[in-house]
Amino acid sequence: MAANLARINEELAGKQVRLIAVTKKAEPSQMEEAFGLGVTEFGENRIQDALAKREKLSPSLVQNAKWHFIGHLQTNKVKQAVGNFSLIHSVDSLKLAREISRVASSRGMTQAILLQVKLAEDADKSGFSKNELLSQFDEISKLPNLRVEGLMTITPLTDDPSIRKQCFTGLSQLRSELEASHGVSLKELSMGMTNDWQEAVDCGATMIRLGRAIFYDSCA
């Protein structure tokens, strides 16, 4: 793991990119090791798994790390997600944004989110289409107790780098369009995983979500 992180950090040197360690398949002991090697942000796909793992982690890690939710979030799980994660990456509908706003408001807190966008045809991926987001962003941005910090995307499974690049550049362009038309600052672009993170960084990613590249030598 130390060698994997050293290689990743070397490539990220001088770039304003945050590394989110995806812990979907990681054991608590691996998370502790990563924390000891300087990883301070962790992303989980399932709420129950994330909360269960925290009970097995050291108080130092739990208190000092930032926790991200990166999996599909159902509206009936919002109450568990709000407040337990500093950033929810996967807000993929107006309905979900409204529910997060409602729960956060009832608790007197503000929840930071990213809006998930689907920029290529992929039946397995969820997210706003570009046109949906352009038409709904104004309402989402005005929801109380909700802070939209940026956009997120997941590329389709493909060996064609041009398709991935189209998704990454498309997300960056959509951010610029939303900032210009609504007078807002969307500082985060969460894009890039183990198989394509270098391409995402080249296209302006501010957050990359890596699991296998950190925790397993064979996938580094």
Residue among 133, 155, 79 nearest 111 (CA): 79
Residue 121 and residue 159: Cα distance in Å, rounded? 15
- CATH homologous superfamily of 2-219 equals Alanine racemase (3.20.20.10)
**Where is 66: in which H helix or E strand?**
strand 66-69
Supply 41's token pair: 């942000």
The tens digit of pLDDT for each residue in 27-75 reads 999 999 999 999 999 999 999 999 999 999 999 999 999 999 999 999 9
Q: Is the pLDDT of residue 220 over 60?
A: no
158 band by pLDDT with thresholds 50, 70 and 90: confident
**Locus of tokens 């990213």:** 114
Residue 210 and residue 194: Cα distance in Å, rounded? 5
Cα distances (Å, whole numbers) of residue 95 to 46, 51, 127, 155: 20, 25, 12, 23
pLDDT of residue 161: 87
The tens digit of pLDDT for each residue in 90-111 reads 999 999 999 999 999 999 999 9
What backbone torsions phi and psi does residue 111 show, to the nearest 5 degrees?
A: -105, 125
Per residue in 40-62, is it b (16+ CB within 10 Å) or e — as a string? ebbbbbebeebeebbeebeeebe
Predicted TM-score (pTM) of this structure: 0.95
Q: Is the pLDDT of residue 218 over 80?
A: no
| In the chain, where the domains are located | 2-219
pLDDT of residue 157: 85
